[in-house]
Amino acid sequence: MVKEQREIRDLQKGSYLIMDDSPCLIIAYSTAKPGKHGSAKARIDGKGVFDNKKRSLSQPVDAKVWVPIIERKQGQVVNLEGNGVAQIMDLNSYESFSLEIPSELNVSGESEIEYLEYGDQRKVVVR
């Protein structure tokens, strides 16, 4: 799993962050003014990219956190397996794997999809 370290002040809404060992999308970011004896604090609310769980974090803005490098890839539906699962072939590496297709996405055989990959986790992107 590829990740890098950044200061919290460099993050913004819409970027990614690792919270509780899970990659999360930042849905809210706010900072409080520095206090008499400390530095400014940031409050970050995130939503798990692969598990959709909400998480929050409160740290000084100069604290370092891990940021995941999530790859956005293209794939083609090879076969619909039923129960919302499809066999996907990556359009670059030609690797085949099974992925759950969200119900709001209407796919058929040979449809092209976009998916996110981080380590061994994958998820179809709904545009």
Instruction: List every span in the chain annotated with CATH 2.30.30.30.
Output: 3-68
Numbers of helices and strands, H then E, in the chain: 0, 11
pLDDT band at 108 (very low <50, low <70, confident <90, very high): confident
CATH class of 3-68: mainly beta
* CA–CA gap between residue 13 and residue 22 (Å, rounded): 17
Task: Tell me the pTM.
Answer: 0.84
The CATH number of 71-124 is 2.40.50.140
Percent of the chain with pLDDT over 90: 72
Instruction: List every span in the chain annotated with CATH 2.40.50.140.
Output: 71-124
